[in-house]
Copies of this chain bind each other. A is one copy, B any other.
C-alpha cells in the first residue's frame, strides 16, 4: 500500500483495529450460539459482550504475540484481560484459528467490494453525464491510430460506461464469491462445534455458511475475486490510454483538468501532462499483479497449508486500496476532463475528406461498379490526397470514371457528417436504456 495512492476509508478497513473488531464480533456471536446450544454457560457468552465498546490495544496484542508466536491466541489472551480470565474461558471453544481468520478476511473483502462498488458508481455517473454532454460532439474514429470514420465523443464515453457497467456486475458477482464464513473446526468436520454456530455467526455478520470447508475457506473464491479486480483495472487502463492519446500534443482533443498553481514540470512551464491517467495506467498494472498469486494460492496442501496467508496479507489490502484509489482518481479525471470539440473537427479534416472514402466506395458499388473497380477508383483518388495534399471531394468530382457512376450531388452527399451520427440515439438507448 502506497499512502499517496490510497483513500482513508479503504485503508481503515485493513487496519489492525478493524481486524480485531471483526475477530471480536465473530467470537462473541459464536459464544451466543454455543450458549443457545447449551454447550457453554449463557453467563459466559453474555460476559463477552462486555467488551462491546472496547477498542482493542494493538500494541498490547503484538506484545503478547511476540511470546506466543500465534496471533489468535494473542488476541484471546488480550480479550481475557478485558473480560476476565474466568469469564473468558469458553471463548473460541471448539473453534480453530482459521475459523476466525478466514471469516474475517471474507468480511473485509465484502466490505472492500462495497466501497469499490460505490467508486464504480461514481465513475459510471461521471461517464453518463459526459456521454450525454458530448453525444453529438463529432470526432474522428481511429483504428490502428489511423483516421477511419467519424464517431462522437459521446459514443466514446458511452462505451466506457458500458464497459464499467459490466465491471460493476462482475464486481457484484465477485462480492458474492467471497460472501461466506466458516466455523467448522480444525479440518472442517464440525467435530468439536455444531454447524449451528457457523450459521448463527454468518447470519449476524451478513455472510452465508461455506457449504464445505476444510480448515480454511476454499481459495478458488478469492482467486475469482482478485481476477475480477484485475479485469476492472484493465478497463481503467483502457480509459486512461484513450485520454492520454487525446491529450498528446498533436491530438489535443482533451486535457486533464489543470488546477491553477499546479506545476507540470520543473523545467518546462508550458507543459500540461496527463499525469493522472498515466498514473492510472501504472496502478492498473499494480492491481493486476495480484491475479496470478491469488490463483497460485488455490492449490493448498490437504486441508490447508499457510502459504496463502502472506500473499493475502499483501494483496488483500494492496489490490483493493489501489483499485479504490484508481476508481476515484478516474472519476475525478472524467468529471473534470476538458474537452476540445474544435480540435476534434480540425483533426478530422487533416486529410481533406479522406475519411469518407468508405462511403464513396459503397456508393460506387451501389451504382453498379464492381467491388474491385470501385476499390481502385477510390484508392487512386485517395492516394492523391495522401501524397499530394489534394482535397478528396474535389478529386472525385474531377474524376470522370467516378462521375460516370455518381452525380456531383451524390458525391457531395457522401461528405455529410449526419450520415455517421444517425444511429447515435439507438446506441445510447442500448447503453443507457430508454
In the assembled complex, the Cα of A85 lies from the Cα of B369 at a distance in Å of 12
Which residue of the partner chain, among B227, B292, B355, contacts A228 with CB atoms under 8 Å?
B227
Query: How extensive is the interface on chain A, given as a class?
Result: 35 or more
Q: Which residues of B contact A306 (CB under 8 A)?
A: 144, 273, 275, 278-279, 282
Closest residue of chain B to A295 (Cβ to Cβ) is B234
Nearest-Cβ distance from residue A2 to partner chain B, whole angstroms? 5
Dominant secondary structure at the A interface: helix
Which residue of the partner chain, among B189, B289, B430, contacts A289 with CB atoms under 8 Å?
B289
In the assembled complex, the Cα of A4 lies from the Cα of B301 at a distance in Å of 24
> Does A37 have its Cβ within 8 Å of any Cβ on chain B?
no
Closest residue of chain B to A281 (Cβ to Cβ) is B307
B220 touches A227 (CB 8 A): no
Closest residue of chain B to A426 (Cβ to Cβ) is B195
Which residue of the partner chain, among B150, B163, B303, B310, contacts A151 with CB atoms under 8 Å?
B303
Q: Check A310/B148 contact, CB under 8 A, given A266-B96, A292-B289, A299-B238.
A: no
Task: For chain A, residues 274 to 295, give those with C-beta under 8 angstroms from any C-beta of chain B.
Answer: 274-275, 278-279, 281-286, 288-293, 295
Which residue of the partner chain, among B186, B209, B296, contacts A358 with CB atoms under 8 Å?
B186
- Which 8 A/B pairs are nearest by Cβ-Cβ distance? A141-B187, A145-B248, A144-B273, A270-B382, A282-B310, A234-B298, A142-B302, A281-B307
A and B contact pairs by CB, cutoff 8 A, 24 listed: A2-B313, A5-B313, A70-B266, A95-B267, A96-B266, A97-B267, A142-B248, A142-B249, A144-B244, A144-B271, A144-B305, A145-B301, A146-B274, A148-B271, A166-B220, A189-B421, A191-B359, A227-B227, A231-B298, A242-B302, A272-B386, A282-B307, A285-B292, A286-B311
